[in-house]
Amino acid sequence: MSTLTASSRISGLLKQWNISDDHSGVSTGAQWLKGEGGRLVSSSPVDGAQLGVVHGASHAEYEQCIKTAQDAFKEWRNWPAPKRGEVVRQFAEELRKHKAELGKLVSYEMGKSYQEGLGEVQEMIDICDFAVGLSRQLHGLTMHSERPQHRMYEQWHPLGLVGLITSFNFPVAVWSWNTALAWVCGDVTIWKPSGKTPICSLACQAIAAEVFKRNNVPEGVSVLINGNREVGEWMSRDERIPLISATGSTRMGKVVGAAVSERLGRALLELGGNNAIIITEKADLDIAMHSALFGAVGTAGQRCTTTRRLIIHESVYSDFTKKLAKAYGQLRIGNPLDESNHVGPLIDTTAVEMYSNALKAAKEQGGRMLVEGGVLSGEAFATGCYVKPAIVEAAPDMPIVQEETFAPILYVIRYKGDVANAIAIQNNVKQGLSSSIMTTDLREMEQFLGAAGSDCGIANVNIGTSGAEIGGAFGGEKETGGGRESGSDAWKTYMRRQTNTINYGTTVPLAQGIKFDL
């Protein structure tokens, strides 16, 4: 698909959702406010075309949104959870109808391949399906009391307003991970999307608003507040928002976490990753090759789960790196809406500058280029956002290897001895999101998954570091933030737990056998 055709089709899609070229980015669900704050200009990194201008919120509009959300929560929390689940089910049906169109918009505004854009929308559908089932399983526990004729149990109640601060690399999926769970739990959501991908947020809000209107959902259950950094600061410091879920860099997460903790709020942080694949001498090298290739270059290296490091046993190091370099030579870079291409652009020229600086630092610190990187030029790459995926032979203690660079740079590291040495190298970074081991040896696998193994929130065997499924809780340890989104029991993050004790007897015995008689 040509970029001209893509731009024309995207424009048509936005009109279908009543989104103009100059549009407010502030919505309480049933209505769009004026957007009297800063302007956000969305330009595609694919071809530089401007998708539109989005107007962010003023502080007065922010206050209006929060008040509307508070009023909505008072009603929404009393809806039966299965009824809330039915609304989410209908939202998933609308996403199915719009999957191709929304996938194109994600690809065009963010720059990831169209297949990945479709995959992102499918993640939205999947988490909605998960949440619908969950709406009938928000269960607590019953416990035996030590006191006669007493009963104890735990139950979970909606938390309230949930603030969502999301990143550009998954402009719709991460919102849905949080939102679908929060909605069925009885919460209302306040979404501050990335200023680099605001148009995607308008489309999501428009689709949700239509479903909400059909079901008479109170205005304010889904609030969208586009804007600059100050909007995130307002949310982080706002005592009326008990939970802030923030996805982005570790630097950003530390700022948000400090602001939220200062007011004793809750923070769900999903931050940076410096993910590694260990390839042992007993690995299936074909599986390892496919996993490493997509892990390193998928989304042009702009995933928090992107493979940044390969830790390879010395016995297979030479053969594997030669084959990997050859595979890199077959990658096609270009317009991500052309499905014959493997790698699209970085999000903007700032990301390109960070990529170039990282390669420069790697060379200065003693890294050896196995596959040269560089910024691509020419008519097809006129935005200046297209770069070559690079492979650097590196030492594990090089400072640049300890950092996360949001770009397609892969560091390959040789290890000797048994798998414990590789695990030590993998764990010796500040981040702890995703990890993988390639092995056919059961003992190596179990050692990697054991208590002395990978210190990451995600640890895979014979699959790459990217591509988490909705059923498992997603998140990591250390500077990744410790938060968990999506599946498993992550729903508990969006609720408050209450312990109840019921006395159905005629006396009032005290716990621990305490006597207090008059």
Catalytic residues: 270, 304
Specify which residues 277 forms β-bridges with: 310, 436
- Kindly state the tokens that stand for 259: 């602001």
Residues 6 or more apart whose Cβ sits within 8 Å of residue 329: 371
- Kindly state the tokens that stand for 451: 């208590």
| Amino acid, single-letter form, for residue 363 | K
Please name which of 352, 400, 351, 350 lies closest in space to residue 375, comparing C-alpha atoms: 352
Length of the chain: 518
Specify which residues 387 forms β-bridges with: 375
- Kindly state the tokens that stand for 83: 């009824």
Contact 343, 389 (CB under 8 A): yes
Distance CA 118, CA 133 (A): 23
Expressed in percent and rounded to 5, the helix, strand and coil fractions of the chain are 40, 20, 35
CA atoms within 13 A on the CB side of 205: 30
**Cα–Cα distances in angstroms (integers) from residue 504 to residues 149, 499, 501, 510, 512, in the given order:** 6, 16, 10, 14, 19
CA atoms within 13 A on the CB side of 321: 24
Specify which residues 43 forms β-bridges with: 50
**Cα–Cα distances in angstroms (integers) from residue 384 to residues 359, 381, 407, 518, in the given order:** 17, 6, 14, 83
Please name which of 391, 226, 363, 360 lies closest in space to residue 297, comparing C-alpha atoms: 391
Contact 203, 165 (CB under 8 A): no
Distance CA 155, CA 148 (A): 21
Q: What is the DSSP letter of 333?
A: B
Distance CA 164, CA 167 (A): 10
Distance CA 418, CA 420 (A): 6
Rg, the chain, Cα only: 25
332, burial (CB in 10 Å: exposed 0-12, middle 13-18, buried 19+): exposed
Please list, residue by residue across 10-25, b when 16 or more beta carbons sit within 10 angstroms of its beta carbon and e when fewer do.
beebbeebebeeebbb
The neighbour count for residue 306, using CB atoms within 10 Å, is 30
Q: Phi and psi for 325 in degrees, rounded to 5?
A: -60, -40
The overall longest dimension of the chain from CA atoms, in Å, is: 91
